[in-house]
Amino acid sequence: MKTSARRIGVVGVGMCVPKKVLTNADLEKMVDTTDEWIQTRTGIRERRVVEPGMATSDLAYDAAKEALKRAGCHAKDIDLVIVGTTSPDMLFPSTACLLQHRLGAKSAAGFDLSAACSGSVFSIITAQQYLQTGRFKRALVIGAEVLSGFVDWTDRSTCVLFGDGAGACVMSRVSRGGILATDLGCDGSAAEFLCIPGGGSRQPPSHASIDQRLHYLRMDGTEIFKLAVRRMAESAQTVIKAARVPADKIDCLIPHQANIRIIQAMAKRARLPMEKVYVNVDRYGNTSAASNLIALYEAVQEGKVKRGSHVLLVAFGAGLTWGSVLLQW
Ligand code: UT7
């Protein structure tokens, strides 16, 4: 969808990852895998994991503080907090409420948004709607996950993939540039390909659910791989067309960081050269909802996103969910 009326943009970004690094060599000691397999099949060299006791809101807090600082505003100026996450501190209350209190964002409303790895992109687009109608003036959007608590560390096909982290941004009206076009989609028919089956109302926690390991993430990697490439490429093309920005004018593509092979295949399919693609999956693995915002933060820090740059965020995740945001920085 091409956006019009008020221009809404990102005015500050932040990120936070835990200090503890878990390398492929560390994983070799935990499951039957090799650094060589992980690097060639996924592009991942290492990921970050929290120490026991650290929760999603802790990472979200540090990322949010940095985004606020860079946006030059205070928590009290924020009137909306959205946290994209699938690993909230608790089932309820929302992580957004915990964060709102800790930040001292006294005038803000807040809620969590569940779109798995598409959490940042869904949250940015949701915030944009509130800002565009004028209902709120300044939104704090966060994608944050501590998936290390939900990964089965005995399952080599999934435990090598994920990492913990948080990315954040402040959004408000801008006088130039901003969000030019967005795309969102979902398809629940493929829900079973990537899920945590236990812990919800269908299969509440019980001794049996723990014995059956239902509280851990399960994935059909091959199916997810194919769908991720197709949906992300289509979504990227949808926003490029809607914004009427020629593909060669995209300065930086920031895809969800799940697997370097998915990123390469989707970029090829969307006809976007790899030189313009930001990649940090090698250092953080798949941080799910945090991934796009962490990558945006680093792309800005490294000068790959500059004033006037056309930036394309593309996400894909469990649900299935997918979405894109094309914006001018
Ligand atoms: O954000 C969305 C969330 N998830 C994703 O985006 C992940 C999407 N999927 C993927 O990234 C890839 O499918 C994987 C990285 C998970 C797997 O790569 P693949 O090329 O699709 O490999 P595969 O599943 O076809 O497995 C090939 C082999 C299997 O052995 P056999 O059956 O051929 O003997 C697996 O058992 O690799 C084996 N394998 C491993 N070997 C060493 C699976 N995991 C590992 C491992 N180390 N960690």
Residue ranges per structural domain of the chain: 8-175, 180-328
Nearest CA to ligand 1 atom 38: 157
**How far is ligand 1, taken at its centre, from the CA of residue 253, in Å?**
25
pLDDT at 80: 98
**84, 113 contact by CB (below 8 A):** yes
Asked whether 259 lines ligand 1 (CB < 6 A), one says yes
The Cα-based distances of 277 to 25, 203, 253, 286 in angstroms read: 27, 40, 5, 16
Instruction: Give per-residue pLDDT as tens, 229-246.
Output: 999 999 999 999 999 999
Task: Please choose, from the candidates 106, 105, 139, 146, the residue with its C-alpha nearest in 3D space to the C-alpha of residue 125.
Answer: 139
Instruction: Give per-residue pLDDT as tens, 69-86.
Output: 999 999 999 999 999 999
Query: Is pLDDT above 80 for 2?
Result: no
Query: Is pLDDT above 60 for 4?
Result: no
pLDDT at 270: 87
- Compute the distance between CA of residue 281 and CA of residue 294 in angstroms, rounded to an integer: 10
- Compute the distance between CA of residue 138 and CA of residue 12 in angstroms, rounded to an integer: 11
Instruction: Give per-residue pLDDT as tens, 180-216.
Output: 999 999 999 999 999 999 999 999 999 999 999 999 9
Indicate if 180-328 has the same CATH topology as 8-175.
Answer: yes
Q: Report percent pLDDT > 90 for the chain.
A: 98
Instruction: Give per-residue pLDDT as tens, 130-180.
Output: 999 999 999 999 999 999 999 999 999 999 999 999 999 999 999 999 999
Nearest CA to ligand 1 atom 42: 33
pLDDT at 6: 82
Phi/psi-derived region of residue 287, left when phi > 0, alpha when psi is between -120 and 50, beta in every other case: alpha
Average pLDDT of the residues of the chain:
96
Query: Is pLDDT above 90 for 90?
Result: yes
Fold type of domain 180-328: Peroxisomal Thiolase; Chain A, domain 1 (3.40.47)
Count the residues in the chain: 329
Asked whether 225 lines ligand 1 (CB < 6 A), one says yes
Instruction: Give this prediction's pTM.
Output: 0.96
**Average pLDDT for residues 51-67, to the nearest whole number?**
98
Q: Candidates 3.60.120.10, 3.40.47.10, 3.40.640.10, 3.40.50.1820; correct CATH number of 8-175?
A: 3.40.47.10
Task: Give the residue numbers marked as catalytic.
Answer: 117, 256, 286
